[in-house]
């Protein structure tokens, strides 16, 4: 056994990615709070509880204030670091926001209780991550730089090492390998973790989805290569399109130098609890309990395929699904091999459907495809197909600047627009990121339909900074 190995740490994703991946992000705060203190007691490295799609979903479907959710969780979870997922310059929305919005949002996320911010960009364009990283650092948070993992002729160890090094140079405290589609092989997990640990010399955290069935094997190989933290969910909210089960990983490392030290009994109490919670959200449950072979064949994330099915059904063209699945990798190649994650997965997916339904490739392009080709989302990982670009945007030259440099500040204007509906700066942020949904939500809150404990706003006890 190698000398100097340290225990592997576990991040629990049950309160964010777990239910986002399995239950359409519908888990309510009322189903988290009763178990929050027990979860806090388990000894996780961190708990991912906020960001991603949870912010939008709180206001859009659950009549819950996302900021209130964070404050309530912070109140119950006193020992464990709280973590969130941030889409770089897109924050928790679906388009780029101006720098003043990024600044205000990150500041308020940390102020209300977040310790670790995982920052990613769908194109791995570091210019879309740098602002969020620098504000996180300035506010005393832990900035985790993210590699969105994908497979293409351009994505090799050297590419990822360079990307991680750039993130480190920008101030990242650790690196996350984010395998949203669940396509990293055990050997690649080993090689990638090893190269990052040896060359970039930052803590490495591995985030896999179980979709293809390879994730637990990838985790074990990553452990052998020296990974620091693994993302897991409590077993009853794990597997399928969610993360590997915490219990499996904990048990498999017992008796090795990597032993996480977590108590399986405590984990099973939580598992029992979430079994009942999951049953409550049955109508949103997307798991069919099997391995998704399409992910292995086409490297298309599970969520994308279910989108195709509903889009094609609406057009009465479900028989075209095989052609669409074949078209996605071709569109992705034309687009310079972007990783398939929000929002690039939607852009590539919608264009692939259009190409198949119209019977001619790029006969029509979506607005998002046009903006993508104009460089408004950032720089694709590899050169785009020039012929395709000409067909879509003609002679127009793509922009070469950092996309957010083209945006005017937005906070002041938003503050005026939303007026008395906003009781806090946090409310202004909810509105600026989601103008329609946010406004409707704030109106309903004013009408007394949403419960908020304002005594927690700005409560110093909520702020819990940890050494990074
Ligand atoms: Co994920």
Task: Tell how far the Cα of 180 is from the centroid of ligand 1, in angstroms.
Answer: 5
Percentage with pLDDT > 90 across the chain: 84
The pLDDT score that the predictor gives to residue 462 is 37
The alpha carbon of 21 and the centre of ligand 1 are apart by a number of angstroms equal to 7
Task: Tell me the CA–centroid distance for residue 25 and ligand 1, in Å.
Answer: 12
Cα-to-chain-centroid distance, residue 291: 21
Q: Does the structure show a pLDDT above 90 at 274?
A: yes
18 CA → ligand 1 middle, Å: 8
Rounded to the nearest angstrom, the distance between the alpha carbon of 231 and the centre of ligand 1 is 9
Percent of the chain with pLDDT over 70: 95
Closest CA to 304 of 355, 334, 342, 359: 342
SS3 assignment, position 349: helix
In angstroms, what is the span from residue 261 Cα to ligand 1's centroid? 24
Averaged pLDDT of the chain: 93
207 CA from centroid of ligand 1 (Å): 7
* pLDDT confidence of residue 300: 79
Does the pLDDT at position 183 exceed 60?
yes
* pTM of the full structure: 0.93
pLDDT class for 467, splitting at 50, 70, 90?
very low
Q: Is the pLDDT of residue 176 over 90?
A: yes
- Cα(239) to centroid(ligand 1), Å: 12
pLDDT beyond 90 at 463: no
Residue 260 confidence (pLDDT) above 90: yes
**85 C-alpha vs ligand 1 centroid, how far in Å?**
9
Segment 273-280 shows an average pLDDT of 97
- How much is the average pLDDT of 463-467? 31
Residue 305: predicted pLDDT: 77
The answer to whether 128 and 375 have CB atoms below 8 angstroms apart is: no
Residues 394-431 pLDDT 10s: 999 999 999 999 999 999 999 999 999 999 999 999 99
Residue 464: predicted pLDDT: 34
Cα 146 to middle of ligand 1, angstroms: 12
182 alpha carbon to ligand 1 midpoint, in Å? 9
| C-alpha 338 to ligand 1 mean position (Å) | 17
- Opening angle at CA 35, ends 33 and 40, nearest 5: 100
pLDDT higher than 80, residue 307:
no
Residue 241 CA to ligand 1 center (angstroms) comes to: 9
**47 pLDDT band (50/70/90 cuts)?**
very high
Residues with CB under 5 A from ligand 1 (ion): 17
Distance 148 CA to ligand 1 centre (A): 10
Q: Which residues pair with 232 in a beta bridge?
A: 12
How many A from CA of 325 to the centre of ligand 1?
Answer: 22
What confidence category does residue 94 fall into, taking pLDDT thresholds of 50, 70 and 90? confident
* Separation of CA 139 and ligand 1 centre (Å): 25
pLDDT value of residue 302: 65
pLDDT of residue 185: 97
CA of 369 to the centre of ligand 1 (A): 24
- Would you say residue 1 has pLDDT above 60? no
Q: Report phi then psi at 140, rounded to 5.
A: 85, 10
- With a cut of 80, say whether residue 253 has pLDDT above it: yes
């Amino acid at each position: 056994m190698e000398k100097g190995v340290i225990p592997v740490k576990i991040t629990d994703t049950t309160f964010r990615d777990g239910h986002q991946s399995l239950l359409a992000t519908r888990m309510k705060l009322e189903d988290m709070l009763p178990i929050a203190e027990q979860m806090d007691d388990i000894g996780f490295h961190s708990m991912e509880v906020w960001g991603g799609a949870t912010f939008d979903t709180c206001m859009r479907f659950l009549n819950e204030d996302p900021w209130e959710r964070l404050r309530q969780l912070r109140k119950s979870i006193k020992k464990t670091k709280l973590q969130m997922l941030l889409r770089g310059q897109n924050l928790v929305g679906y388009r780029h926001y101006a720098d003043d919005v990024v600044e205000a949002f990150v500041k308020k996320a940390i102020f209300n209780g977040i310790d670790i911010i995982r920052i990613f960009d769908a194109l791995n364009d570091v210019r879309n991550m740098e602002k969020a990283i620098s504000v996180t650092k300035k506010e005393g948070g832990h900035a985790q730089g993210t590699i969105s993992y994908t497979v293409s002729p351009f994505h090799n160890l050297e590419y990822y090492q360079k990307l991680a090094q750039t993130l480190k140079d920008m101030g990242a405290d650790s690196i996350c390998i984010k395998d949203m589609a669940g396509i990293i092989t055990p050997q690649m997990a080993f090689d990638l973790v090893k190269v990052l640990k040896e060359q970039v010399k930052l803590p490495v955290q591995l985030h896999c989805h179980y979709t293809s069935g390879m994730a637990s094997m990838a985790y074990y190989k990553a452990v052998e290569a020296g990974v620091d933290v693994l993302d897991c969910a409590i077993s009853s909210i794990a597997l399928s399109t969610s993360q590997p089960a915490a219990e499996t990983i904990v048990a498999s490392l017992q008796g090795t130098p990597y032993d996480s030290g977590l108590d399986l009994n405590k984990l099973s109490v939580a598992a029992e609890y979430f079994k009942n919670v999951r049953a409550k959200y049955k109508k949103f449950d997307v798991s069919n309990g099997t391995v998704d072979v399409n992910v292995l064949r086409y490297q298309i994330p599970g969520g994308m395929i279910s989108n195709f099915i509903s889009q094609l059904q609406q057009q009465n063209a479900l028989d075209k699904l095989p052609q669409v699945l074949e078209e996605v990798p071709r569109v992705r190649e034309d687009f310079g091999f972007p990783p398939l994650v929000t929002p690039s997965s939607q852009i590539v997916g919608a264009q692939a459907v259009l190409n198949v339904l119209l019977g001619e490739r790029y006969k029509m392009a979506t607005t998002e495809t046009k903006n993508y080709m104009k460089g408004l989302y950032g720089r694709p990982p590899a050169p785009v197909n020039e012929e395709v670009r000409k067909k879509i945007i003609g002679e127009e030259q793509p922009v070469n600047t950092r996309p957010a440099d083209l945006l005017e500040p937005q906070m002041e204007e938003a503050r005026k627009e939303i007026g008395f509906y906003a009781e806090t700066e946090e409310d202004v942020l909810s509105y600026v990121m989601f103008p329609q949904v946010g406004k409707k939500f704030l109106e309903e809150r004013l009408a007394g339909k949403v419960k908020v404990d304002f005594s927690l706003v700005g409560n110093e006890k909520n702020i819990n900074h940890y050494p990074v």
